[in-house]
Structure 1
Amino acid sequence: MKYATLAIHGGVRAQQDVKGVNVPIELSTTFAQPSLSQPQKFEYARGNNPTRAYVESLMAELEHAKYGVAVSSGMAATTLAFGILEQGDTVLLNSNVYGGTYRYVSNLFKRHGIAYHMVRDFNSLRKEDLKDVRALFIETPSNPLLEVYDIAHLAELAHQTDTLLIVDNTFMTSYFQRPLELGADVVVYSATKYYGGHSDVIAGFVLTNNDALNEQFRFLQNTYGGILSPFDSYLIARGIKTMPLRLEASQNNALALAKMLEKSDAVDAIHYPGLASHPQHELQTKQASGYGAVFSILLSEKYDLDSFLDHLQIFDLAVSLGGVESLVCRPATMTHESYDPALQKEIGIDQRLIRFAVGVEDIEDLKADITQALEESRK
């Protein structure tokens, strides 16, 4: 089946007498067993639950993965992936990684004797740079500078040195990009974003084709206990049904706005891989089927940033992304505040950098909203 059809009809359902068009929400915390000699797949809901098992299988099908593990948030997914690391391991991360991920590695890795290094340009890595490195962790496109990294190239390098490649694919989803098919070992998601799609559920997923890794993830999921609840599993499954439609609409809007702003004197720089001017536009076109619906701009000093944000009427000032509504935020103080100011400056997370997460509203209304806010904020 094609993606849009699989999003509605995919997944493995638990056996039931009545088959509704929607998967039922199973709220039981424990399940009766026929006898001691007949253990069942579902015993205790922390270990397994029919609704969660369904959405895990659906996510895996969409990703072309063997295994999917559902947890309570995107950070829980990242934590689960990092849970396989051991004392003495070293991890390389792209420099402008999500602030929550940076907060985790910069504060908690040292407690477990794990080292990390932020890499400014992953695409220039060589085999010798991966000596004694246990894992590479990348977001591509990255958050918030929308840098694109060559997944296939990095996978080839990593596998020459027994290094794991972990990809946070939140911005793209499996609809636009499937890192496992490009050689990645693990994919993580904040499914809060596009998979949920309505800003009403927090969820995360870890996906892999590796049997041994999956066993470790399952053990950690059950041991940590940060599972996705039955109701939240249902909400993710429901959101997936319309995700292809929402992603196409959001991406079309984002591209139109990015092209408009690229020509504006209000913008000193714009970061969106859908633009031909983006330095990795060709790479993004090669390894993905789309560009996503997030972009960021560096607002010109000719405009008052606070006034611009205050005058936006449709774009809500809020963190997160991937919902049907359009949002705007300042990464330096809202999503990447865990970065030291000096590190922000070094990386390029400027105080005047604004990130747009574009929704599915009418494009003419979105254009008009940004235009009037710029007019009101011109110094």
Structure 2
Amino acid sequence: SYLGGKLSPFEAWLLLRGLRTLPLRLPHHMKSGLTIAERLKAHGNVERINHPAYSNHPGKATLAGYAGLFSFEVTEDVDIPAFVDALKLFRIGVSWGGHESLVVPAKASLEQTPGLNSMARFGVSPRTIRFSVGLESVEDLWADVAQAFDRAKR
């Protein structure tokens, strides 16, 4: 089973409620998410960025923009649990498009059932971290990410 695989009536109501302001939030998510992704791309502890802006997939031509949702793979010398724990502005969570920034290590969301290794099935690196960039100041978010990298070095 996967996180987010079912939708209860309450979750459906939350989804509909959030859709009302999505057009106002999305441009900020897009700009801030791309800024964080660009800075991560230049960071020495990041091996790969999985962001639609950097994709060569033919479907990219149909996109009018991007959300603040993307993932990245860190180098072996980053302690992922320590990195996530050191973040102050990013909360642990699997949603996206809301006002607050969220983080989830891929291992936490793809290895929920013992014996079922979804990471291997989907080819996801165990060094992958997912960000959903919210509405906070992009400079505050980057400062948070930078200090988390400093604290998570092995």
Q: TM-score range by the shorter chain?
A: 0.7 to 0.9
Given candidates 21, 34, 45, the residue that maps to 1:255 is 34
Question: Are 1:236 and 2:16 an aligned pair?
Answer: yes
- One-letter code aligned to 1:363: V
1:319 CA drift (Å): 2.3
1:236 CA drift (Å): 2.3
Runs of 4+ in 1 over 3 A off after TM superposition: none
Distance in 1, matches of 2:23 and 2:3, equals: 27
Which fold has the larger relative contact order, with Cα–Cα distance below 8 Å and residues 6 or more apart in sequence? 2
Q: 1:352 to 1:324 in 2, by over 3 A?
A: same
Distance in 1, matches of 2:131 and 2:83, equals: 13
Contact 2:72 2:129 in 1 (8 A): yes
1:344-377 alpha-carbon deviations (Å, 9 max, x no partner): 2242222221110110111100110001100111
Q: What is the root-mean-square deviation in Å for CA atoms of aligned residues?
A: 2.6
Residue aligned with 1:306, SS: helix
| Structure with the higher fraction of residues in helix conformation | 2
Contact 1:319 1:335 in 2 (8 A): no
Residue aligned with 2:20, SS: helix
Distance in 2, matches of 1:293 and 1:370, equals: 15
Given candidates 342, 357, 371, the residue that maps to 2:146 is 371
What is residue 307 of structure 1 aligned with on the other side? 82
Distance in 1, matches of 2:3 and 2:11, equals: 14
Residue aligned with 2:77, SS: coil
Identity of aligned residues (%): 31
Distance in 2, matches of 1:279 and 1:306, equals: 31
- One-letter code aligned to 1:330: P
Aligned pairs for 1:1-379 within 5 A: 99-100=2-3, 202-203=11-12, 232=13, 236-237=16-17, 239-275=18-54, 278-280=55-57, 283-284=59-60, 286-334=61-109, 337-338=112-113, 340-341=116-117, 343-379=118-154
Distance in 1, matches of 2:93 and 2:137, equals: 20
Distance in 2, matches of 1:256 and 1:371, equals: 14
**Count of residues in correspondence between the two structures:** 152
Gaps of 5+ in 1: 1-97, 105-189, 193-200, 204-231
Distance in 1, matches of 2:125 and 2:20, equals: 37
- One-letter code aligned to 1:372: Q
- Which structure has the larger Rg? 1
